[in-house]
């Protein structure tokens, strides 16, 4: 049977889709890239961070049913786990499962193809549950490999339903992490993106920290660049930042997505965030001190329950002060089952829309000014950002970040296989990057064209910003 996947949401969802596609392939299914018509099975990986995510999930399920009436439609992921009754009511889905036990999905699909009995199987999260063993060896045409190292969240922010969808904090054991890193490197992936639901909590069960996972990735032969997913600022200590800067041999990409949500302390308290703007500012300064020229990105929410015009202006001012390179801004949407759903004083939709429009342009100007101030004054024109001092192969997007594997993709080693050395004993951890691995020749695709266009536009904008900073001749 031909199976296609449609995934909404975060990098964790994308990683889990790759794991699922590998399991379907191992069970004899023909995995089709994208979501082309005419497939026998469609698997929708849902997102429930916002009400809009729920709407898009239901829309996708119904579209696949309408366009492919004879296909088996599967709904899985965060939406069914957080709202099982709502998800079960989406009758266009033949199989409904949550964020647990998805290894059984191929068998559920086979069973349904025989008996045509609808399946709704959404087990609940349990306190102390283990990290579900999973690994991905290949990401198709992607040049970056995602690696989920952490699952769950215990923060229970007042607006967020994710702890209900993803369960308690748990982490991928270090031997499994090292084994998967080695597999990805052998399959030609030079750039690894470490992801998780609350990434900063990695390893707390065993007294480890996020930096241990980053150092393990940097120490893996063949891995030349490591990126991080979204980070909670209250868990990123100065010691962790220093260790990341000094221990990775220049392999950690200096781009940090520090989730902010609001730049107003009163709003942060109502959100039950575990930091204030003073702490956030200190973390941002520590990152920029340890990683000169680092890009800071963030998430910001407008229109939270009880937020006033004064609160909004305070949040705007703080965003301007930090000077983010990019902001993912969105309007607050009420989530049933959260504490914020019981709060009074909702913000009118029109007000949210206006605030959202005010938030988006401001940080862009601040980021341009901050980036231009980082250019050396002696330069007649700005150097090509953002990889100063790095070899050309490190920065090039046109060549891609994936080397051609010498052999076909390999499967993850067995648990008994000897893992690579631990970060504490690896001499490679603090050594400079190894020479570039050769890239395979390929045709110039539409994706390459889009990437090159973005790169050219970015350099033009940097040049214009640099010209604006040059003194004029009077």
The torsion angle over the Cα atoms of residues 152, 155, 160 and 161, rounded to 10 degrees, is: 40
CA angle 44, 49, 54 (to 5 degrees): 45
- Whose CA is closest to 71, among 89, 55, 53, 95? 95
CA dist., res. 324 & res. 333, Å (int): 24
Contact between 228 and 263 under an 8 Å Cβ cutoff? The reply is no
Digit-by-digit pLDDT tens for the chain (474 residues) are: 999 999 999 999 999 999 999 999 999 999 998 778 889 999 999 999 988 899 999 999 999 999 999 999 999 999 999 999 999 999 999 999 999 988 899 999 999 999 999 999 999 999 888 998 888 887 776 788 999 999 999 999 999 999 999 999 999 999 999 999 999 999 999 999 999 999 999 999 999 999 999 999 999 999 999 999 999 998 888 889 999 999 888 999 999 999 999 999 999 999 999 999 999 999 999 999 999 999 999 999 999 999 999 999 999 999 999 999 999 999 998 888 899 999 988 899 999 999 999 987 654 444 444 544 333 333 333 333 333 333 333 333 333 455 555 444 555 555 444 544 444 433 333 334 444 444 444 455 555 555 566 556 656 655 555 544 444 443
Per-residue pLDDT tens over the stretch 431-464: 344 444 444 444 555 555 555 665 566 566 555 5
CA angle 460, 461, 466 (to 5 degrees): 95
Sorted by sequence, the CB contacts under 8 Å of residue 434 that are 6+ apart come out as 221, 222, 224
Contact between 99 and 165 under an 8 Å Cβ cutoff? The reply is yes
Instruction: Write down the pTM of the prediction.
Output: 0.76
């Amino acid at each position: 049977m031909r199976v296609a996947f449609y995934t909404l949401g975060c990098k964790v969802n994308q990683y889990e889709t790759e794991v699922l596609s590998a399991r379907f392939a191992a069970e004899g299914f023909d995995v089709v890239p994208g979501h082309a018509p005419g497939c026998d099975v469609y698997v929708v990986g849902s997102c429930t961070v916002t009400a809009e995510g729920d709407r898009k999930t239901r829309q996708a399920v119904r579209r696949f049913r309408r366009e492919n009436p004879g296909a088996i439609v599967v709904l899985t992921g965060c939406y069914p786990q957080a709202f099982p009754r709502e998800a079960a009511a989406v009758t266009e889905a033949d199989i409904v499962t949550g964020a647990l036990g998805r290894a059984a999905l191929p068998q559920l699909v086979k069973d349904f193809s025989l008996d045509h009995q609808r399946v709704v199987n959404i087990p609940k999260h349990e306190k102390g549950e283990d990290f579900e063993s999973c690994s991905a060896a290949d990401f198709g045409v992607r040049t970056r490999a995602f690696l989920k190292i952490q699952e769950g969240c215990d923060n229970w922010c007042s607006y967020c339903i994710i702890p209900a969808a993803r369960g308690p904090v748990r982490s991928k054991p270090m031997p499994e992490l090292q084994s998967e890193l080695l597999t990805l490197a052998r399959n030609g992936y030079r750039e690894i993106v470490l992801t998780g639901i609350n990434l900063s909590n990695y390893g707390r069960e065993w007294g480890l920290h996020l930096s241990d996972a980053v150092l393990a990735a940097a120490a893996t032969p063949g891995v030349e660049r490591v990126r991080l997913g979204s980070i909670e600022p209250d868990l990123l200590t100065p010691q962790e930042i220093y260790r990341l800067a000094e221990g990775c041999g220049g392999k950690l990409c200096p781009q940090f997505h520090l989730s902010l949500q609001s730049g107003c302390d009163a709003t942060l308290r109502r959100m039950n965030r575990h930091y204030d703007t003073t702490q956030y500012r200190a973390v941002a300064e520590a990152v920029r001190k340890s990683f000169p020229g680092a890009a800071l990105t963030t998430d910001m929410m407008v229109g939270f329950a009880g937020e006033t015009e004064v609160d909004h202006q305070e949040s705007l001012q703080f965003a301007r002060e930090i000077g983010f390179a990019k902001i993912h801004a969105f309007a607050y949407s009420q989530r049933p089952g959260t504490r914020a759903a019981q709060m009074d004083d909702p913000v009118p939709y029109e007000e949210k829309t206006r605030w959202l429009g005010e938030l988006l342009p401001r940080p862009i100007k601040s980021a341009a000014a901050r980036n231009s101030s980082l250019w050396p004054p002696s330069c007649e024109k700005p150097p090509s950002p953002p990889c100063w001092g790095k070899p050309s192969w490190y920065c090039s997007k046109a060549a891609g970040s994936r080397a051609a594997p010498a052999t076909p993709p390999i499967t993850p080693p067995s648990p008994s296989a000897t893992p690579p050395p631990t970060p504490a004993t690896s001499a490679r951890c603090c050594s400079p990057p190894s020479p570039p691995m050769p890239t395979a020749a390929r045709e110039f695709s539409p994706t390459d064209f889009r990437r090159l266009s973005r790169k050219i536009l970015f350099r033009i904008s940097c040049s214009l910003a640099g010209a604006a900073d040059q003194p004029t001749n009077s």
